[in-house]
Amino acid sequence: MIAHLAIIPDGNRRWAKKLGKRPWYGHEMGIPRFRNTIDWCRELGIKELTFYTLSIQNFQRDKTELDFLFIYIRKEIEHWLAADISEKKGVRFTLIGKPEMLPKDLHETIKKLEKKTENNNGA
């Protein structure tokens, strides 16, 4: 039984480029995969899942692409906050890394999600 799975989402930009789209299109299309992955891991009994989503190198990307990434992350966090999905699925969110690198409002939104889900245990 796998107890902890770590995933580094990669290839969204290349995929979008192959389709002749902007890089952020690939990021946007990756969001449903994020949600599906959480469901699949729960079905398989994996209790801990880590997504390594923004490396320090990613912060050197074009400002427009970063702005879109932050919009998508913000929307996804707001989805988990507003829909009470986190309670229904028992998912606990924890930010690790360097939150000071994120836009302040995004970091604050993430802290709200962490607080809301801090007692969830996967049940």
Element at 86 (helix H, strand E): helix 85-89
> From the candidates 12, 36, 39, 58, which is the catalytic residue?
58
* Catalytic member of 10, 62, 84, 105: 10
Q: Provide the strand spans (E) within 8-111.
A: 48-51
Residue 3, exposed/middle/buried by CB under 10 A (0-12, 13-18, 19+)? exposed
Task: Please indicate whether residue 10 is annotated as part of the active site.
Answer: yes
Let me know if 120 is a catalytic residue. Answer: no
The helix-helix angle for 23-44 and 63-82 (nearest 10°) equals 30
> What three-state secondary structure class fits 103?
coil
What is the total residue count of the chain?
A: 123
Q: Please give the single-letter amino acid code of residue 6.
A: A
**Residues assigned a catalytic role:** 10, 58
